[in-house]
Amino acid sequence: MIYYFKGHVLETKTTRDTELMACPLCGPQRRPDHQHLKTLKVNKKSKYAYCYHCTEGGHLTTPGEELEKSEKRESKGVASHFRRPVFDTNKTKLSDELVKYFVEKRCIPQKVLIDLKVTEVERYLPDVKKKVKCIGFNYFVDGELVNTKYRDLEKHFAMEAGAEQVPYNIDSAKEPNYVYVVEGEPDAMSVIAAGFPSVISVPNGANTNLSWLDPFVESHFENKEIIYIAVDNDRKGMILCDELVRRFGRSVCRIVKFGEGCKDANDHLVKYGAESLRIYLKLPQMLPLEGVFSVCDVIDNYRLIYEKGVTTGLSTGFANLDNYLRFVLGKLCVVTGEPTAGKSEFVDMLVTNMYMNHDWRTAYFSPENMPIEEAYCKISEKMIGKKLEQGITTEEEYEESVRFLDENIFTIIPKEDFTIESILNKATDLIRRNGIKALVIDPYNCVEHRLGKFERETSYINQFLDKLTKYAEKHRILIILVAHPTKQDDDSKSKSKQLKMYDIYGSSHFYNKADFGLAVSRDENNDLTTIHILKVKTKNLGKKGKVQFIFNTVNGRYTPYETETMDHLGKFRSSLFDNSNWFKKKEGMIDATAKVQAIAFEEDEEREVPF
């Protein structure tokens, strides 16, 4: 049988469902005596191949499928993933009124407007349902126009439909060894006016979804010696600043503060002038020394507690569980449970919920849940709401699952070894490149543990957990560690005993070091899954207790158990299961968020556009 795999032809030799063969991707690059080693596993049933040496994987297509794709291209043409506008040089001729506004009101030199190719256009805006005069802020990548933001007098705005979300002025950041990051086009112009041309503006205001950054991490930011964070001096700006520092790393980031009474770079330029702004931009604040703090180092967050109270954390996606537990970044959650109780399934459910509610991306180190494609299948079924199988799942739903997994779920399989150091090194790369916010290590015993010659296991576990807690806090990531309990006796008394975190094999430190502790149990008689909340270190994030769920065997989702969900025979009413497509639900949530962002557009209300 012939298959196509990443541009290469594979010819299988047997009739078995799976077959090993030499990898066409890494084989030719290996030394001669290793080039023909069979490291590529081909699964004909799932049409997926994975190489255990280079860790490359992908879907297989048959010659017939390739021919069908080719015919579709010829008949319809290949549609671009993004729609790009066409740049009209005639629109760069700005009216005197607009130039006067920028020069006199915003203190932006005319040359900056010309260099950034600011345009003046008449544009239909959905919010006002008519054509109005607008400023056009044009977004270029490698000199090609990819998006435009249009603004009118009443601060309504619109972007090109279906266009890419990219940073404003991103081309300026490619070569220099520094870059300033600001929160609006006028602020980027102000930094340029002060003499620093390498500056970008975030494309969608102050929020923590930095997916726009992913394509540019290696090409535009790997070479940076210093990244200056110069976002707005308000609550949303602080949250954005924290996320940028988390993504770029503390060692290269510097924080810019503006003069008294100034929220952003353009405020400072207007109030104090270009030379003063230049001085402030050249003298950013160093981030605090790690391990040494005063209240002034955390004064903004301290003020937030005073104004808003201590954080109560983020929803887990389950109303019943939220009463006892809410997650925050920078913590360690230990999950234990009986064999076959569904520890991994429930962790997958939490990961899915955190994506749905908070856009969290997650990395897994989970050698027990192999092959990788089957682990991905379990997560995608929770999103699709049905079994991932041709005839049950549509082609569109399948493609949605591929995009979701590719952008949000990552698997760590270090080439060198499975030590915790190698796992965390890969996690650091994923934080920087993809912005993951959760790391699942499932289970503890699959990590390669290297004890010293005379080192006791309890001492080693203590140091191991210290590494996890310090890493989670430093990188502001939630680590979920699945750990098996000690083997229980087969007698009924042992089986009825409620698991505690002290029952985890190896050491009581699993309880002592964890911020959150969960135990999963399942009653096979009534098919109820119970989540025991055994530890919540800080009272503002929850308390001890237990909640119950019904497991949906159709799609792997968990539904909170309530007495009214049971029928007269004590069976769960299957009609209450949620089998809907959550990709559609997520699209609705994104649309609603976009409308809120449109209303709360970042520019000051006092500033007026001159038409």
List the one residue out of 313, 213, 244 whose CA is nearest residue 542.
313
Least confident of 81-95, 112-126, 208-222, 339-353: 81-95
DSSP letters for 531-586: EEEEEESSGGGB-SEEEEEEE-TTT--EEE--GGGB-TTS-B-GGGS--S-HHHHH
| CB-based contacts of 518, cutoff 8 Å, min separation 6 | 325, 333, 334, 335, 336, 337, 531, 532, 533, 534
Mean pLDDT of 301-318: 86
Least confident of 42-46, 65-69, 100-104, 125-129: 65-69
Q: What is the pLDDT of residues 338-385, one digit of tens each?
A: 888 899 999 999 999 999 999 999 999 998 888 899 999 999 999 999
Q: To the nearest 10°, the Cα dihedral for 227, 231, 233, 235?
A: -110
Is the model's pLDDT at 274 over the cut of 80?
Answer: yes
Mean pLDDT for the chain? Answer: 84
pLDDT for residue 310: 84
Least confident of 434-438, 509-513, 521-525, 601-605: 601-605
User: How would residue 69 be classed by pLDDT, with cut points 50, 70 and 90?
Assistant: low
pLDDT for residue 269: 95
List the one residue out of 594, 603, 600 whose CA is nearest residue 189.
603
pLDDT for residue 591: 52
Mean pLDDT of 61-81: 56
pLDDT for residue 593: 47
Least confident of 249-253, 266-270, 277-281, 381-385: 249-253
Half-sphere exposure for 220 (CA within 13 Å, toward CB): 23
User: How would residue 88 be classed by pLDDT, with cut points 50, 70 and 90?
Assistant: low
